[in-house]
Amino acid sequence: MSQSDQNETLLVLLTQEGDVAAFEELLRRLYGPLRQYMTRLVGESDADDVLQDAAIRIYKNIRFLREPAVFKAWAFRIATRIALTYLKREQALAAIGERS
């Protein structure tokens, strides 16, 4: 395990114990790659909204993460689910708008 991975694991453990500063550091490290990914999925204009929802969900559920070493993949899965739900909702709204 690399030093960076060990640091991330420690930050996850600290976050699970309630350390908000550790969570902020996790988000800072994850923001760039996650924002690029969200931009590809939902577009530039909606990426930040999806990221905000993802950050909230990650924070609320990090205590349930049993393997801190998989944090990054776990966080991306959460963000992906939120993005897909967002896209489905947008498609449904567009379909309703076409019927009107």
- The predicted model gives 52-63 an average pLDDT of 97
- How many angstroms separate the CA atoms of 24 and 39, rounded? 21
Domain that holds residue 69: 3-99
pLDDT above 80: residue 3: no
pLDDT above 70: residue 86: yes
Q: Considering only CA atoms, which of 28, 14, 30 is closest in space to residue 62?
A: 14
- Give the DSSP H or E segment for 65: none
Residue 32 pLDDT: 96
The residue that leads in pLDDT, 48 or 3, is 48
pLDDT above 70: residue 74: yes
Which DSSP string corresponds to 1-21? --HHHHHHHHHHHHHHTT-HH
pLDDT above 90: residue 2: no
The domain that holds 60 is classified in CATH as 1.10.1740.10
pLDDT above 70: residue 64: yes
Number of domains within the chain: 1
- The predicted model gives 48-55 an average pLDDT of 96
